[in-house]
Amino acid sequence: MRYITTIIIGAGQSGLAMSKHLTDRSIDHVLLERGGVANSWQTERWDSLRLLTPNWQSRLPGYAYEGNDPNGYMRVTEVVGYLKRYAEVSGAPVQAHTKVTRVRQSDTGYAVTTDQGMWRCQTLVVASGACNIATVPAVAGGLLPGIASLTPMQYRNPESLPDGGVLIVGASATGVQLAREIRASGRSVMLAAGEHVRVPRIYRGRDIKWWMDAMGAMDLRYDAIEDIERARRLPSLQLIGTPGRENIDLNGLRKAGVEIVGRVAGLRDGKLQFSASLPNHCALADLKMNRLLTSIDAWIFATEQQDRFPASHRFEPTEIDPQTRLGMDLNDGSVRTVIWATGYRPDYSWLDVPVFDRKGRIRHNGGVVAVPGMYVMGLPFMRRRKSSFIDGAADDAADLAAHLTLGLRRLAA
Ligand SMILES: Cc1cc2nc3c(=O)[nH]c(=O)nc-3n(C[C@H](O)[C@H](O)[C@H](O)COP(=O)(O)OP(=O)(O)OC[C@H]3O[C@@H](n4cnc5c(N)ncnc54)[C@H](O)[C@@H]3O)c2cc1C
């Protein structure tokens, strides 16, 4: 049995950022990590993935991108290298290849069981990731046995798919990126799109992420939002990071030959039904994109920077094929693989502490969990809009490390 003040579970950016703040505050701690540093980036992403956030927007406490392409988008191998270097320079006390199998409350804090022995700690930071499990809707269970059913965590590249057509379900960042790549490999691809968030890569000469950062939109706090539950459920932006800083949207995918259909509404006897709501979802996505662009224009005007940027403009509305089909028979053999790009969720199967709501989510207030001395990091819109991004870990970790330190001081007193 080993004793330590604080245990951080997970050595991704969230755990590492928290570790840096605890080190700066001289709080002894360890990061327990089932793989190596940046394990999720290294083992759970597809081969061609690049960040959709620009390189400069990977700021961590006391660390920033210093390469020669600040406006580019790191490949996933570069992200792993970037985080590994951060762990080194910040001296993060990572105990790798240590899987946490159970956490329960004890008299003095928490008892943490791992496959490498037991630990006890006063305070615990759950930084084990928001995307441990790919969410797959129940209809997947009705797929015919001859059709491969994959999640984005299993997908690696088009060559590793069975021959034949591919249906991708979900048109957020993951779904549109996979549709683009698999179509470019020469396959027939169908994309089922429900609610999605359309944004251009570049607007008025700058990356959309630059605008959102400059306007303070990424710093928006969880307690300033009217419907935080909804904000936390919003799909990721339709964006891709490419060397040419290309746009990705349903119009472009359609032109490239991807067939766009509505969201999967049902599956019976091998027959898929697609919702007729596609035009509504697209109209709403266009409306919201234009609202965002209008807010950028207004910000430029209010800050008197009109001369600094090219003129305002708008993008083509999403075109809907009047022949969009509302169903298809999977028995006809045209689709051989279905990829469920329908979101991700955390895995807390090892957390044996009564902190969950009825949907299995950790109850917390901006990362401060509803039991003494426990914190969580990296969840969508946890304290700020940027909480689940690399760039969001620093501010959240600073706030939560301050809260944690105060709690320890109170205990000591
Ligand atoms: C496909 C995809 C693309 C993304 N692209 C971007 C992007 O472009 N820009 C951006 O800023 N963000 C992006 N994100 C969001 C976010 O940055 C990543 O999800 C990131 O990995 C989250 O970091 P984290 O440290 O919170 O969690 P993780 O990176 O998941 O780290 C958690 C760590 O905890 C470990 N762990 C989990 N359970 C246990 C256990 N029981 N015992 C021990 N260790 C455990 C894991 O091995 C892992 O190393 C993307 C996410 C996904 C899924």
Q: Is 324 helix (H, G, I), strand (E, B) or coil?
A: coil
DSSP 330: G
- Span from the CA of 13 to the centroid of ligand 1 (angstroms): 7
Q: Could you tell me the two tokens for 73?
A: 């988008």
Kind and range of the H or E run holding 255: helix 250-255
What CA–CA distance (Å, rounded) separates 56 from 391? 9
41-66 pLDDT, tens digit each: 999 999 999 999 999 999 999 999 99
Q: Which atom of ligand 1 is nearest to the CA of 36?
A: 49
- Chain mean pLDDT for the chain: 97
Give the 3-state secondary structure percentages of the chain, helix then strand then coil, rounded to 5.
30, 25, 45
Report pLDDT for 262. 98
396 vs 412, which has greater pLDDT?
A: 396
Report pLDDT for 313. 97
Q: With beta carbons less than 8 A apart as the criterion, state whether 6 and 123 touch.
A: yes
Q: How confident is the model at residue 314 (pLDDT cuts 50, 70, 90)?
A: very high
Average pLDDT over residues 200-228: 97
The CB of 344 under 6 Å from ligand 1? The reply is yes
The CB of 372 under 6 Å from ligand 1? The reply is no
Query: Which residue's alpha carbon is nearest to atom 10 within ligand 1?
Result: 389
The CB of 45 under 6 Å from ligand 1? The reply is yes
Report pLDDT for 111. 98
Where in 304-387 does DSSP place strands (E)?
A: 327-329, 335-340, 344-345, 364-365, 368-369, 374-376
- Span from the CA of 41 to the centroid of ligand 1 (angstroms): 6
Q: With beta carbons less than 8 A apart as the criterion, state whether 56 and 166 touch.
A: no
Q: With beta carbons less than 8 A apart as the criterion, state whether 351 and 126 touch.
A: yes
Strand partners, 2: 119
Q: With beta carbons less than 8 A apart as the criterion, state whether 147 and 330 touch.
A: yes
Nearest alpha carbon to residue 258 among 174, 193, 201: 193
Nearest alpha carbon to residue 254 among 206, 320, 197: 320
Start-to-end C-alpha separation, the chain: 26
Nearest alpha carbon to residue 380 among 131, 136, 61: 131
Which phi and psi (to 5°) does residue 173 adopt?
A: -50, -50
51-105 pLDDT, tens digit each: 999 999 999 999 999 999 999 999 999 999 999 999 999 999 999 999 999 999 9
- Span from the CA of 80 to the centroid of ligand 1 (angstroms): 11
